[in-house]
Amino acid sequence: MKNDHQTDEPGDQEVVIRVRDLEVGFGERLVMKKLDLDVYRGEILGFVGPSGQGKSVLTRAVLGLIPKRSGTIEVFGQDVDKLSTERRRGIEQRWGVLFQQGALFSALTVRQNVQVPMREYLKLSDRLLDELAMLKIEMVGLKPDAADKLPSELSGGMIKRASLARALSLDPEILFLDEPTSGLDPIGAGEFDELIATLQRTLGLTVFMVTHDLDSLYTVCNRIAALGDGRIIAQGPMDRMLASDDPWVRSYFHGKRARAATAARH
């Protein structure tokens, strides 16, 4: 499948996440060094970079789960540091997250997992909660009987789908995915990518996706940003990445795995 929806650099598109001069550190180590990044409404942004460079840290900083040292983060045009608790909860309802690790609560069924955000943010009857959860479960391509299963009874692919259903629980506008296809076999990963692309189109989502998966980058991402040494070292559509002369970006997009991914689509 060739990517047919890569666009040029977005011009006047609305920025839904704006990060400026972001510094995040742990002890002596500065992980983000004056990082700038924009995410545009309706795009699927692929976020790449070497392991341990801070892709998850950036995601968690945007979500307000890791404190920053300096800089600003705006989501939907609002500085997340300056929000009242109420407005902050308002923003939290407009995003959904699929974390890299520990996606589901192991003691809860899939249905109960999907309902966790609903119970936290919405006041709905149990019956409505059940109906909504089933809708989300169906939306991610799980069979209804998955609803009553525990995470330990699911395959890796089903766990990812159930986690996605939970991320979609509150009908978010932004979806954060941290390495959603890692651990899946290539076919499972390809199917998951297709699901993301379909959901993005039908629900009009903005997707921020941390990934190592070159297939995902080729097939579903409109734009890619690469992290290196605490900053964005290259960004743009795939052709821009392929033309980058940054050494890491070059070896990543032109290396052996990249050639295999490209060969598979010709």
Ligand X SMILES: Nc1ncnc2c1ncn2[C@@H]1O[C@H](COP(=O)(O)OP(=O)(O)O)[C@@H](O)[C@H]1O
DSSP run (H or E) holding 258: helix 256-263
Q: Does 181 bind Mg ion (CB under 5 A)?
A: no
Decide whether 52 or 77 has the Cβ nearer to ligand X: 52
Q: Residue from 4, 12, 26, 239 that binds ligand X (CB under 6 A)?
A: 26
> What's the chain's length in residues?
266
Residue 57 beta carbon to ligand X: minimum distance, rounded to whole angstroms: 3
Phi, psi angles (nearest 5°) of residue 143: -75, 150
Q: What is the CA radius of gyration of the chain?
A: 18
Answer with the entry of ligand X, Mg ion, none that 57 interacts with (C-beta below 5 to 8 A by kind): ligand X
Decide whether 56 or 244 has the Cβ nearer to Mg ion: 56
Amino acid at 260: A
Decide whether 55 or 136 has the Cβ nearer to Mg ion: 55
Residue span binding Mg ion (CB under 5 A) among the ranges 15-23, 34-42, 52-60, 119-127: 52-60
Residue 210 beta carbon to ligand X: minimum distance, rounded to whole angstroms: 7
Residue 132 beta carbon to ligand X: minimum distance, rounded to whole angstroms: 31
Residue span binding Mg ion (CB under 5 A) among the ranges 14-22, 62-70, 97-105, 232-240: 97-105
Residue 261 burial (CB count, 10 A): 18
Q: Residue from 53, 56, 169, 216 that binds Mg ion (CB under 5 A)?
A: 56
**Whole-Å CA distances, 201 to 57, 196, 220:** 27, 9, 11
Q: Is 226 exposed, middle or buried (0-12, 13-18, 19+ CB in 10 A)?
A: buried
Decide whether 61 or 146 has the Cβ nearer to Mg ion: 61
Name the nearest CA neighbour of 189 among 167, 166, 209, 169: 209
| Residues in contact with ligand X, shown as a per-residue x/- string from 39 to 68 under the rule CB under 6 A | ----------x-xxxxxxx-----------
Rounded Cα–Cα distance for residues 220 and 146 (Å)? 27
Rounded Cα–Cα distance for residues 22 and 35 (Å)? 5
Residues that bind ligand X (CB under 6 A): 26, 31, 49, 51-57
Residues that bind Mg ion (CB under 5 A): 55-56, 100
